[in-house]
A = this chain, B = another copy of it.
Amino acid sequence: MNYPIICISREYASGGREIGQQLAKNLNIPFYDRTIVEAAAMESGLSPEFIEKNEQKFRGSMLFNLSMGNHTVNPMGTTLTDQVFIAQREIILEIAKKGPCVIVGRCADYILRNHPNLFTVFIHADFESRKQRALEEYECDLFTIEKVIRTMDKQRSRHYHYYTDRTWGDREHYTMMLNSSQLGADLCVELLTKAIKAQAK
């Protein structure tokens, strides 16, 4: 089947990663998420832990970069955060050459915007259900959970906007946007599978 490259963006604790995993399984194509971080680490020489901790914490300020130890600017004028992005970008371009797959996050929809067969998805959910999910899945603290969710969204949004000049979650950039708490994760997977199979005919 001529499946597309499927890029999934998602709000924190909306279940987007799990939906992507199941979708990849249904379509029998590779799934990329943390694997990209690991590959980027190999590429850049930075540790996977460093990348994972800092990849979306970019605050666009010199102060942030200094506080993150990002004062080591290379001759091209890029910070460590930029180097992480560049390394991940290279990995994503390589992955896309191999054929259909599901990629979660990491600005992949933007990086692959000129790919001839791209299917972009945004998964979001009602705030209350995200709170519940964050408490159960990520063992967040009940008293700080709302702040954690808003901060995570803000980090993703800023990171995306900084590297793409696009607005994160703006309908213009997505083929399908699904509310996973209203539809349920299983139905989201079914709808995406159906849409992608119908187009691949």
Interface residues of A (CB under 8 A from B): 119, 122, 124, 169, 171-172, 174-179, 182-183, 187, 190-191, 194-195, 198-199
CB contacts (< 8 Å) of A183 on chain B: these are 175-176, 195, 199
Min C-beta distance of A123 to chain B, whole Å: 10
- A171: contacting residue among B119, B171, B191, CB under 8 A: B171
This chain: copies in complex: 2
CB contacts (< 8 Å) of A177 on chain B: these are 122, 171, 174, 176-178
- A195: contacting residue among B124, B171, B191, CB under 8 A: B191
* CB atoms of A122 and B171 under 8 A apart: yes
CB contacts (< 8 Å) of A124 on chain B: these are 171-172
CA A198 – CA B187 in complex, angstroms? Answer: 8
- A187: contacting residue among B122, B169, B171, B195, CB under 8 A: B195
* CB atoms of A179 and B176 under 8 A apart: yes
CB contacts (< 8 Å) of A171 on chain B: these are 122, 124, 169, 171, 177, 179
CB contacts (< 8 Å) of A187 on chain B: these are 195, 198-199
